[in-house]
A and B are shown apart, each in its own frame.
Chain A
Amino acid sequence: MEISEDVKKLVIARLETMPANLKMSIGGDEDLDKHKMIKEVEKESDVGKKIVEMHMLYLRSFKTKM
Protein backbone atom coordinates (compact mmCIF):
# COMPACT_ATOMS: atom_id res chain seq x y z
CA MET A 1 0.00 0.00 0.00
CA GLU A 2 1.37 3.37 -1.02
CA ILE A 3 0.41 6.33 1.16
CA SER A 4 -0.32 9.59 -0.63
CA GLU A 5 1.42 12.72 0.69
CA ASP A 6 -1.94 14.30 1.54
CA VAL A 7 -3.02 11.33 3.64
CA LYS A 8 0.37 11.22 5.34
CA LYS A 9 0.14 14.93 6.21
CA LEU A 10 -3.40 14.48 7.52
CA VAL A 11 -2.44 11.56 9.77
CA ILE A 12 0.69 13.31 11.06
CA ALA A 13 -1.35 16.43 11.85
CA ARG A 14 -3.78 14.26 13.79
CA LEU A 15 -0.96 12.49 15.62
CA GLU A 16 0.48 15.87 16.69
CA THR A 17 -2.66 16.36 18.79
CA MET A 18 -2.29 13.02 20.61
CA PRO A 19 -1.61 13.45 24.35
CA ALA A 20 2.07 12.98 25.23
CA ASN A 21 1.23 10.59 28.07
CA LEU A 22 -0.39 8.04 25.73
CA LYS A 23 1.41 5.04 24.27
CA MET A 24 0.22 2.56 21.71
CA SER A 25 0.99 -1.14 21.73
CA ILE A 26 0.66 -2.75 18.31
CA GLY A 27 2.15 -6.14 17.52
CA GLY A 28 5.20 -7.38 19.33
CA ASP A 29 7.41 -4.39 18.60
CA GLU A 30 8.31 -1.50 20.85
CA ASP A 31 5.35 0.53 22.16
CA LEU A 32 5.05 3.92 20.52
CA ASP A 33 4.38 7.43 21.80
CA LYS A 34 3.18 10.09 19.37
CA HIS A 35 6.69 11.09 18.28
CA LYS A 36 7.60 7.52 17.38
CA MET A 37 4.24 7.04 15.65
CA ILE A 38 4.91 10.11 13.51
CA LYS A 39 8.35 8.75 12.57
CA GLU A 40 6.84 5.41 11.55
CA VAL A 41 4.25 7.16 9.37
CA GLU A 42 6.93 9.39 7.80
CA LYS A 43 9.06 6.43 6.80
CA GLU A 44 6.02 4.38 5.74
CA SER A 45 7.09 1.34 7.75
CA ASP A 46 4.69 -1.57 8.23
CA VAL A 47 3.60 -0.10 11.57
CA GLY A 48 3.33 3.34 9.98
CA LYS A 49 1.01 1.95 7.32
CA LYS A 50 -1.14 0.33 10.01
CA ILE A 51 -1.35 3.64 11.89
CA VAL A 52 -2.56 5.30 8.68
CA GLU A 53 -5.09 2.50 8.12
CA MET A 54 -6.36 2.97 11.67
CA HIS A 55 -6.88 6.71 11.17
CA MET A 56 -8.65 6.12 7.86
CA LEU A 57 -10.91 3.51 9.46
CA TYR A 58 -11.80 6.08 12.13
CA LEU A 59 -12.50 8.83 9.60
CA ARG A 60 -14.56 6.51 7.40
CA SER A 61 -16.69 5.58 10.44
CA PHE A 62 -18.10 9.12 10.37
CA LYS A 63 -18.75 8.97 6.63
CA THR A 64 -20.74 5.72 6.88
CA LYS A 65 -23.01 7.24 9.54
CA MET A 66 -23.93 10.29 7.44
Chain B
Amino acid sequence: MLLDKKRILITRPNHDAITHYLCEWNTEIIKLAKEKNFDVHDLKAEKANKKEVISHLEKQKYEFVIFNGHGNSNQIAGYNNEILIESEKNHQLLKDKIIYAISCSAAKELGKKCCEAGSKAFIGYENDFVLFYEKNMLSRPMQDEYAKAIIIPSNQISQTLIKGNDIGEAIKRSHEMTNQNIEKLKSTESVIGAENVIMALLWNMASLKANGNLNQKI
Protein backbone atom coordinates (compact mmCIF):
# COMPACT_ATOMS: atom_id res chain seq x y z
CA MET B 1 0.00 0.00 0.00
CA LEU B 2 1.32 3.43 -0.90
CA LEU B 3 1.42 5.84 1.99
CA ASP B 4 0.71 9.52 1.49
CA LYS B 5 3.78 11.65 1.84
CA LYS B 6 3.80 13.93 4.87
CA ARG B 7 3.43 17.57 3.90
CA ILE B 8 5.45 20.62 4.86
CA LEU B 9 4.42 24.19 4.11
CA ILE B 10 7.12 26.85 4.18
CA THR B 11 6.88 30.61 3.69
CA ARG B 12 9.99 32.41 2.45
CA PRO B 13 9.43 36.12 1.82
CA ASN B 14 12.56 37.93 0.69
CA HIS B 15 11.73 41.62 0.60
CA ASP B 16 14.40 42.88 3.01
CA ALA B 17 17.79 41.79 4.36
CA ILE B 18 16.68 39.42 7.12
CA THR B 19 13.94 37.76 5.08
CA HIS B 20 16.37 37.46 2.15
CA TYR B 21 18.91 35.72 4.40
CA LEU B 22 16.32 33.37 5.91
CA CYS B 23 14.87 32.64 2.48
CA GLU B 24 18.26 31.59 1.10
CA TRP B 25 19.29 29.62 4.19
CA ASN B 26 15.98 27.72 4.19
CA THR B 27 16.87 26.14 0.85
CA GLU B 28 18.93 23.66 2.93
CA ILE B 29 15.81 22.68 4.87
CA ILE B 30 13.78 22.22 1.70
CA LYS B 31 16.53 20.06 0.21
CA LEU B 32 16.67 17.87 3.33
CA ALA B 33 12.87 17.55 3.49
CA LYS B 34 12.73 16.38 -0.13
CA GLU B 35 15.52 13.88 0.51
CA LYS B 36 13.47 12.56 3.43
CA ASN B 37 10.50 12.12 1.11
CA PHE B 38 8.32 14.96 2.39
CA ASP B 39 5.95 16.76 0.05
CA VAL B 40 7.22 20.34 0.36
CA HIS B 41 5.06 23.31 -0.62
CA ASP B 42 7.38 26.27 -0.90
CA LEU B 43 5.81 29.74 -0.82
CA LYS B 44 8.80 31.84 -1.84
CA ALA B 45 8.95 35.63 -2.33
CA GLU B 46 5.62 37.07 -3.58
CA LYS B 47 3.97 33.67 -3.09
CA ALA B 48 4.33 34.13 0.68
CA ASN B 49 1.05 36.03 0.74
CA LYS B 50 -2.12 35.63 2.79
CA LYS B 51 -4.27 34.26 -0.03
CA GLU B 52 -1.80 31.49 -0.88
CA VAL B 53 -1.15 30.56 2.75
CA ILE B 54 -4.83 30.34 3.65
CA SER B 55 -5.60 28.40 0.49
CA HIS B 56 -2.88 25.85 1.23
CA LEU B 57 -3.86 25.47 4.89
CA GLU B 58 -7.54 25.03 4.02
CA LYS B 59 -7.07 22.58 1.16
CA GLN B 60 -4.20 20.37 2.32
CA LYS B 61 -3.27 18.55 5.50
CA TYR B 62 0.14 19.77 6.60
CA GLU B 63 2.08 18.13 9.41
CA PHE B 64 4.70 20.87 9.68
CA VAL B 65 4.54 24.58 8.85
CA ILE B 66 7.63 26.78 8.80
CA PHE B 67 7.13 30.54 8.77
CA ASN B 68 10.02 32.86 7.95
CA GLY B 69 9.11 36.52 8.22
CA HIS B 70 8.48 39.45 10.45
CA GLY B 71 6.02 39.23 13.29
CA ASN B 72 4.94 40.34 16.69
CA SER B 73 3.32 38.66 19.67
CA ASN B 74 0.04 38.13 17.80
CA GLN B 75 0.93 38.12 14.11
CA ILE B 76 3.13 36.45 11.53
CA ALA B 77 3.85 38.31 8.30
CA GLY B 78 4.84 37.33 4.79
CA TYR B 79 6.01 39.13 1.67
CA ASN B 80 6.08 42.91 2.10
CA ASN B 81 4.92 42.34 5.69
CA GLU B 82 1.40 41.28 4.72
CA ILE B 83 -0.15 39.62 7.79
CA LEU B 84 -0.57 35.88 7.15
CA ILE B 85 -1.64 34.56 10.54
CA GLU B 86 -3.20 36.54 13.34
CA SER B 87 -4.53 35.67 16.80
CA GLU B 88 -8.32 35.54 16.99
CA LYS B 89 -8.63 35.91 13.20
CA ASN B 90 -7.24 32.81 11.54
CA HIS B 91 -4.85 31.10 13.97
CA GLN B 92 -7.22 28.11 14.07
CA LEU B 93 -5.93 27.23 10.58
CA LEU B 94 -2.83 25.88 12.31
CA LYS B 95 -4.78 23.20 14.19
CA ASP B 96 -3.19 19.71 14.27
CA LYS B 97 0.15 21.01 13.02
CA ILE B 98 3.62 21.56 14.38
CA ILE B 99 4.71 25.13 13.66
CA TYR B 100 8.13 26.70 13.67
CA ALA B 101 7.99 30.48 13.29
CA ILE B 102 11.22 32.39 12.75
CA SER B 103 9.29 35.58 13.47
CA CYS B 104 9.85 38.10 16.21
CA SER B 105 7.85 37.48 19.39
CA ALA B 106 5.26 35.15 17.82
CA ALA B 107 5.78 32.49 20.49
CA LYS B 108 4.64 34.92 23.15
CA GLU B 109 0.87 35.08 22.54
CA LEU B 110 0.16 33.57 19.13
CA GLY B 111 2.02 30.37 19.99
CA LYS B 112 -0.04 29.86 23.13
CA LYS B 113 -3.31 30.60 21.32
CA CYS B 114 -2.46 28.18 18.52
CA CYS B 115 -1.87 25.38 21.02
CA GLU B 116 -5.12 26.23 22.85
CA ALA B 117 -6.85 25.97 19.46
CA GLY B 118 -5.39 22.53 18.77
CA SER B 119 -1.95 23.01 17.22
CA LYS B 120 0.30 20.10 18.20
CA ALA B 121 3.09 22.52 19.09
CA PHE B 122 4.31 25.99 18.30
CA ILE B 123 8.04 26.66 18.36
CA GLY B 124 9.17 30.24 18.04
CA TYR B 125 10.73 33.25 19.69
CA GLU B 126 9.24 35.16 22.61
CA ASN B 127 11.35 38.20 21.84
CA ASP B 128 12.85 39.69 18.68
CA PHE B 129 14.89 37.32 16.51
CA VAL B 130 18.24 39.04 16.06
CA LEU B 131 20.56 38.67 13.07
CA PHE B 132 23.93 40.26 12.38
CA TYR B 133 25.11 40.30 8.78
CA GLU B 134 27.80 41.89 6.66
CA LYS B 135 26.32 44.62 4.52
CA ASN B 136 28.56 43.77 1.56
CA MET B 137 27.43 40.13 1.62
CA LEU B 138 23.77 40.72 0.75
CA SER B 139 24.28 39.16 -2.68
CA ARG B 140 25.96 36.11 -1.12
CA PRO B 141 24.06 35.40 2.12
CA MET B 142 25.18 31.76 2.26
CA GLN B 143 28.80 32.91 2.48
CA ASP B 144 28.25 35.41 5.28
CA GLU B 145 30.03 33.84 8.26
CA TYR B 146 28.38 36.17 10.79
CA ALA B 147 24.86 35.30 9.67
CA LYS B 148 25.74 31.64 9.23
CA ALA B 149 26.68 31.27 12.91
CA ILE B 150 23.27 32.63 13.91
CA ILE B 151 21.04 30.94 11.33
CA ILE B 152 22.47 27.42 11.61
CA PRO B 153 21.19 26.88 15.20
CA SER B 154 17.79 28.17 14.08
CA ASN B 155 17.72 25.81 11.10
CA GLN B 156 18.63 22.98 13.45
CA ILE B 157 15.04 23.01 14.76
CA SER B 158 13.48 22.19 11.39
CA GLN B 159 16.26 19.82 10.38
CA THR B 160 16.02 17.78 13.60
CA LEU B 161 12.24 17.48 13.25
CA ILE B 162 12.49 16.49 9.57
CA LYS B 163 14.96 13.76 10.55
CA GLY B 164 12.23 12.20 12.71
CA ASN B 165 13.11 13.49 16.17
CA ASP B 166 10.75 15.10 18.65
CA ILE B 167 10.49 18.77 19.57
CA GLY B 168 12.43 18.37 22.82
CA GLU B 169 15.36 16.93 20.88
CA ALA B 170 15.11 19.73 18.29
CA ILE B 171 15.34 22.39 21.00
CA LYS B 172 18.21 20.52 22.67
CA ARG B 173 20.20 20.28 19.43
CA SER B 174 19.57 23.94 18.64
CA HIS B 175 20.92 24.90 22.07
CA GLU B 176 23.93 22.61 21.59
CA MET B 177 24.67 24.16 18.19
CA THR B 178 24.33 27.64 19.71
CA ASN B 179 26.81 26.79 22.46
CA GLN B 180 29.21 25.19 19.98
CA ASN B 181 29.14 28.31 17.82
CA ILE B 182 29.68 30.54 20.85
CA GLU B 183 32.72 28.52 21.91
CA LYS B 184 34.07 28.51 18.36
CA LEU B 185 33.67 32.29 18.08
CA LYS B 186 35.29 32.87 21.47
CA SER B 187 38.33 30.88 20.43
CA THR B 188 38.65 32.52 17.00
CA GLU B 189 40.39 35.82 17.51
CA SER B 190 40.52 36.48 13.77
CA VAL B 191 36.75 37.02 13.50
CA ILE B 192 36.44 40.77 14.09
CA GLY B 193 33.24 41.62 15.89
CA ALA B 194 32.55 38.01 16.88
CA GLU B 195 31.14 39.15 20.21
CA ASN B 196 28.18 40.72 18.40
CA VAL B 197 27.30 37.34 16.95
CA ILE B 198 27.71 35.74 20.38
CA MET B 199 25.28 38.31 21.80
CA ALA B 200 22.71 37.46 19.12
CA LEU B 201 23.16 33.73 19.77
CA LEU B 202 22.62 34.17 23.51
CA TRP B 203 19.63 36.43 22.91
CA ASN B 204 17.95 34.12 20.41
CA MET B 205 18.58 31.06 22.58
CA ALA B 206 16.99 32.76 25.59
CA SER B 207 14.01 33.72 23.45
CA LEU B 208 13.42 30.31 21.80
CA LYS B 209 10.30 28.67 23.24
CA ALA B 210 8.13 25.68 22.45
CA ASN B 211 4.45 25.67 23.37
CA GLY B 212 2.72 22.30 23.40
CA ASN B 213 3.89 18.76 23.95
CA LEU B 214 7.66 18.40 23.50
CA ASN B 215 7.30 14.70 22.66
CA GLN B 216 5.55 15.48 19.39
CA LYS B 217 7.13 14.48 16.08
CA ILE B 218 6.16 15.42 12.54
Contact = CB atoms under 8 A, between A and B. Distances in A.
Interface of A: 17-19, 21-28, 31, 33, 50, 53-55, 57-58, 61
Interface stretch (B40-48, B129-137, B159-167): B129-137
22 contacts: A17-B193, A21-B134, A21-B136, A22-B135, A22-B146, A23-B134, A23-B135, A24-B196, A24-B200, A25-B17, A25-B131, A26-B104, A31-B16, A31-B18, A50-B127, A54-B199, A54-B200, A54-B202, A54-B203, A57-B203, A58-B199, A58-B202
Contact of B199 (A19, A23, A28, A55): A55
B192 interface: yes
B132 A23 contact: yes
Interface in B145-204: 146, 192-193, 195-196, 198-200, 202-203
Interface of B: 16-18, 70-72, 77, 81, 104, 127-128, 130-136, 146, 192-193, 195-196, 198-200, 202-203, 206
